[in-house]
Structure 1
Amino acid sequence: MKPIETVGVVGAGAMGRGIAQIAAQAGLSVRLFDTNVDAVQAARASLQQTWDKLVQKGKMEPAAADAALRRVIACAALEDLADCQLVVEAIVERLDVKREVFGKLEAVVADDCILASNTSSLSITAIATGCRLPGRVAGFHFFNPVPLMKVVEVIDGLRGDPAAGDALMDLARRMGHTPVRARDMPGFIVNHAGRGLNTEGLRIAQESVAPFDQVDAIMREQAGFRMGPFELMDLTALDVSHPVMESIYRQFFDEARFRPSPLTTVRLAGGLVGRKAGEGFYRYVDGQKQAPAEAAAPALPGRLKVWVSHVHPHGQECALGLLKQLKSGPLQADIELSTASEAPDDALIVVTPYGEDVSTAVYTQGLDPARTVGVDTFNGLKAGQRRTLMVSPATEPRWRVAAHALFAADGAAVSVVQDSPGFVAQRIIACIVNIAADIAQQQIATPEDIDQAVRLGLGYPMGPLALGDALGAARILEILRNMQRVTGDPRYRPSLWLQRRVQLGLSLQAKSLA
């Protein structure tokens, strides 16, 4: 492969414009083509405005902005791309259209020119099948907006020449992006790994465990994510995200882990696609999300006796640690902590299950269902962090209120959800880690690249495998096993890759030594 100095971009939409921008800023000559000549001129004008703004903000020198604009050449025909060492296609997500464009490009460019697709969901191998030289075809998947999303997936097709992927990896770094390498599989890394947050969030809402805003609040304020699943889907819009969910599910032959939800089917049909439509899972006024205000926490009743189940030692330790702080700290909460081996008849019963619901805990531990409430200790019970309580259909309202008051006594926000194996955060995080583990098992990408791609591409607080290590891979495995046992749903079956690393005491971020 020749050194890449001239890059062709086919498609002058948002993605094509973004790719042209970072390439020109990196000193590359750019040939920008679109079948709509006006779109090319509009894209070039938009780039000029972007660079002018960067100059005004002091983020770019005027001379550098002028030079970048001069490097972007508007092209009226594909033949104008003949001298490119790389052509990146960023057009409509239709296999037949992409194949047609690649066939035309092969008749124009030199045999050692790399042909790359910015596809987010189509097979690179399938795109390359119609090419005379399939080895030079690779995936070069950027994320929108390209200049701000600093990760790009480099995808090797089944018949791809590794040298083409290597050249794209080097070019990505030159353009200021972090490249991650993936084998050609549905969803590549980011769209594949992202199934856990959205599909499990939808499943939780479908089961009426909690409303959209509470699921989002739990994932932000308890689990530490920048956005919850429903905020994220409103931002990306259901007319974009729902077809991806369906596509990946079907491409993996109805794999239960990726099962979509009819909630998005109905909302998409009704036009409630998200922020851009003014309404999705939330309403938007002047672009601002309208979320219901949370009710004030109830007052703590006098002399509340509390008993915490000892069945889950880690959870018991977390819950008792917080309750002791409330009792003996500055708050001096009027609570009595029972240390009896069995729950006293007049005590609030607190259980701390991993992957189970309150009903299962009550049944297996022989507890009084009327007085039993679950608290999620998976992410700890730190000061100022949102806490999640869970009640069963048999929990009496006065005990629910007492538990809410108790765990909100120090001013922490509290979400009270209906019975759910794994609460909310446990379920979603376990699914995220499990899917990432299976991506590693299939050798679609290395553990390092999986974490890099998800952290940069989806904005998670850390990569899914690093998250699994931080929270405890054995605990993730326990949650998954219990969720599968309670629900009977194969979507929760643990990845063998995860199970083996727990059994061997290996970090989820470590490569196999074999």
Structure 2
Amino acid sequence: MTENIRIDEVAVIGAGTMGMGIAQVAAQAGHLVLLYDANPAQTARALEDFASRLAGRVTRGKLSEPDASALRARIRPAESLSELAGADLVVEAIIERLDIKQQLFAELEGICGDRCILASNTSSISITAIGAALSRPERLAGLHFFNPAPVMKLVEVISGLATEPAVRDTLLALARDWGKVAVHASSTPGFIVNRIARPYYGETLRALQEGCGSPQLLDTLMRSGGFPMGACELTDLIGQDVNFAVSSSVYRAFHDEPRYRPSLVQQALVDAGRFGRKSGQGFFAYQGGKAVLDTLPAPAERAPARVVVQGDWSGLKGAEALLARFPGELERRDGSPALLIDGVRVELTDGRSCALRHPGQAAMALDWADDYEAVSHIALGVSEYCSDQQVAAVTGFFQRLDKQVLLLSDHPGMLVLRTLAMLVNEAAEACLHRVASAEDIDLAMRFGVNYPKGPVAWGAEVGYRRLLSLLDNLRALYGEEKYRPSLQLRHWASAEAAA
């Protein structure tokens, strides 16, 4: 194969939620789709449910009856694999077991034409490993949709070791024709999204394990930091059992790489059967499908007696504009950026705990915000050397700037900046290992998990040198290789310094 392959007829194997969703996407793009499931009753149920959803859209005026009828007609049930012989593309969306997928594709090789592309919707199994059972692995690739397939924009196209460029290019072009954002990745554990997203869950789970704050407080902080959901509510939505299984799978696939080590906090939830929304209890309890949340406690506050603004805060977006709001008197002093409030030193976290950064002194760490003037919450890590009166004075200072204050324990690197550093580091490692391009990584994380920015671009805004320093400090503090910076991150930081 030296050029893109024409795709007319599409076959989907597996009539579950994902398989039916993929069939719908292909049919909406005008393809004739054959839907096959080893259980014919499942195929019938899937098509009945699909027809019912279309009828609902017609009733609500979202779709015309002729269009609904044409769409229904383009998806046909297949009673046997042999009926897929004329397909130009076969997409498998069945159980995540290597042996079963290998057996299925080996059987399809004897049924489908030589120019038929075979694709797996697997989210975690190596395309190279699946292809090892085939006589022509060059026509096999991954075509990973995100659930729900008709709604989610991202599709990962995965090349195994033998996948031909024409197969890759055909699938990328096809996914884009279907209205998707298509990215390319090599066949490594987790591909792009499920690999790079691990720190987003892992750092919150570690913060919980180390007593940094409650699930609700940490979720509030992450939303204020720009993420659409906090890690606790998101894993409850995904299913704690499902998220834990993916983390465990990625960890094993990378030969126990410390960056992916699963969390004991999450394992305890799984062991207890607290899977999240679907079981009615996870990090949160659920009633009527909604989390039962407490009102976050408002920390005590009092007016600060003296506030000194040390150094230049213009390097943090919105910080100077925020400080200009203060209704009282602000003293100015040269030095490294810090606020001195009633004897408490407040400065941006750098990956060290306050107690180790300023031994014996009253200090607080400020977590990262993309825009300090616009953000709703200010998060502070409180050193053990701060008195209650000092905490109330610092809280009062930020309350007078119209900010809600989140008080955390003295957690090194806090949460938002620490999580960002780990996400950027994981993206850098994926670039270094040629898993995907920086551009595709950023697209994948924006459209696959709805991050406000791609990690590579986000890291450039925050500053690669800042993030590198934070990781170096975390690595030294914990003595763990989990926080070792990627060689690529060091290169990016070096280029930033030279610019």
Which interval holds the TM-score relative to the shorter structure?
over 0.9
| Residue ranges of structure 2 left out of the alignment (5+ in a row) | none
- What RMSD, in angstroms, separates the aligned Cα atoms of the two structures? 2.4
1:171 counterpart = 2:174 = yes
For the pair 1:90 / 2:81, whether they are aligned, the reply is: no
Aligned to 2:354: 358
Letter in 2 for 1:400: V
1:325 pairs with 2:325: yes
**Where in structure 1 are there 5+ consecutive unaligned residues?**
327-331, 509-514
Residue 306 of structure 1 and its aligned partner are, at CA, apart by 3.1
3-state SS of paired residue (1:349): strand
Q: 1:343 to 1:42 in 2, by over 3 A?
A: closer
> Is the Cα contact below 8 Å between 2:429 and 2:488 reproduced in 1?
yes
- What does residue range 46-85 of structure 1 map to in structure 2 within 5 Å? 46-85=49-88
For 1:180 and 1:240, locate their aligned partners in 2 and report how far apart those are by CA, in whole Å: 24
2:364 corresponding residue in structure 1: 373
* Cα pair distance change 1:324/1:98, threshold 3 Å: same
How far 1:373 moved relative to its partner? 2.2
1:233 maps to a residue whose letter is T
SS of 1:452's equivalent in the other structure is: helix
The Cα shift of 1:121 comes to: 0.5
Q: How far has the Cα of 1:78 moved from its partner? A: 0.7
| Structure 2 equivalent of residue 458 of structure 1 | 449
Give, as a single letter, the amino acid of the residue that structure 2 aligns with 1:355.
G
Q: CA deviation at 1:385?
A: 2.4
CA shift in 2, pair 1:54/1:175, >3 Å: farther
Counterpart code for 1:351: E
Task: Please state how far the C-alpha of 1:497 moved relative to its aligned partner.
Answer: 0.9
Tell me if 1:347 matches 2:343: yes
Query: Conserved in 2, the CA contact under 8 Å of 1:219 and 1:225?
Result: yes
Taking the aligned partners of 1:266 and 1:201, their CA distance within structure 2 comes to 15
Q: Is the 8 A contact 2:221 2:379 kept in 1?
A: yes
Does structure 1 residue 416 correspond to structure 2 residue 417? Answer: no
2:412 is aligned with 1:440: no
- SS of the residue aligned with 1:109? coil
Q: Please name the residue that 1:402 is paired with.
A: 393
Indicate yes or no: 2:106 matched with 1:103: yes
> For structure 1, which segment, 163-172 or 16-25, has the greater mean C-alpha deviation from structure 2 after superposition?
163-172
Question: CA separation in 2, counterparts of 1:411 and 1:300?
Answer: 14
Contact 1:8 1:86 in 2 (8 A): yes
Which letter maps to 2:473? N
What does residue 495 of structure 2 align with? 504
Is 1:289 matched with 2:320? no
Q: 1:238-317 alignment to 2 at 5 Å?
A: 238-301=240-303, 304-307=305-308
- 2:498 and 2:106 map into 1 onto residues whose CA distance is 45
* TM-score normalised over the length of structure 1: 0.91
Cα distance in 2, alignment partners of residues 18 and 5 from structure 1: 18
Instruction: Tell me if structure 2 keeps the 8 A contact 1:55–1:65.
Output: yes
Equivalent residue in structure 1 for 2:119, among 108, 112, 116:
116
Distance 1:224 1:232 in 2: 14
Distance, in Å, in 1 between the alignment partners of 2:19 and 2:204 is 32
Q: What do the CA deviations read for 1:380-420 (whole angstroms, capped 9, x no partner)? A: 42145210111122322221222122212233111111111
Within 5 A, what are the aligned runs for 1:215-230?
215-221=218-224, 223-230=225-232
Where 1:234 maps in the other structure, the secondary structure is: helix
Which one of 136, 139, 155 corresponds to residue 136 of structure 1? 139
Distance 2:342 2:79 in 1: 81
Equivalent residues, number: 494
Contact 2:339 2:346 in 1 (8 A): no
Deviations 1:41-87 (Å, cap 9, x if unpaired)? 11111121222233334443322221111111111111111110111
Letter in 1 for 2:158: I
Q: Does 1:180 align with 2:183?
A: yes
Change (3 A) 1:468 1:79: same
Give the counterpart letter for 2:233 in structure 1.
E
Query: What secondary structure sits across from 2:381 in the alignment?
Result: strand
Q: 2:17 aligns with which of 14, 19, 27?
A: 14
Q: Could you say what secondary structure the match of 1:433 adopts?
A: helix
Change over 3 Å in CA distance of 1:309–1:259 after alignment to 2:
farther
- Alpha carbons 2:223, 2:229 under 8 Å: kept: yes
- CA distance 1:380–1:362, change in 2 (3 Å): farther
Give the drift of 1:6.
0.6
TM-aligned CA deviation for residue 488 of structure 1? 2.1
CA distance in 1, matches of 2:108, 2:202: 38
TM-aligned CA deviation for residue 374 of structure 1: 2.3
- Residues 346 and 141 from structure 1, CA distance in 2 versus in 1: closer, same or farther, beyond 3 angstroms? closer
Q: 1:88 Cα deviation (Å)?
A: 0.5
Q: Secondary structure at the match of 1:407?
A: helix
Query: Which amino acid in structure 1 is aligned with residue 130 of structure 2?
Result: I
Report if aligned partners of 2:18, 2:93 keep a CA contact under 8 Å in 1.
yes
1:23-38 residue pairs with structure 2 within 5 A? 23-38=26-41
Q: What is the rounded CA distance, in whole Å, between the counterparts of 2:195 and 2:364 in structure 1?
A: 35
Equivalent pair of 1:389/1:404 in contact (CA under 8 Å)? no
Name which of 417, 420, 431 aligns with 2:422: 431
2:496 corresponds to which letter in structure 1?
G
Shift of 1:267: 0.5
| Structure-2 change in CA distance of 1:481 and 1:308 (3 Å) | farther
Alpha carbons of structure 1 residues 22 and 317: separation in structure 2 relative to 1, 3 Å: closer
How far has the Cα of 1:300 moved from its partner? 2.2
In structure 2, relative to structure 1, the CA distance for the partners of 1:378 and 1:355 (3 Å cut) is farther
- Which residue number corresponds to residue 378 of structure 2? 387
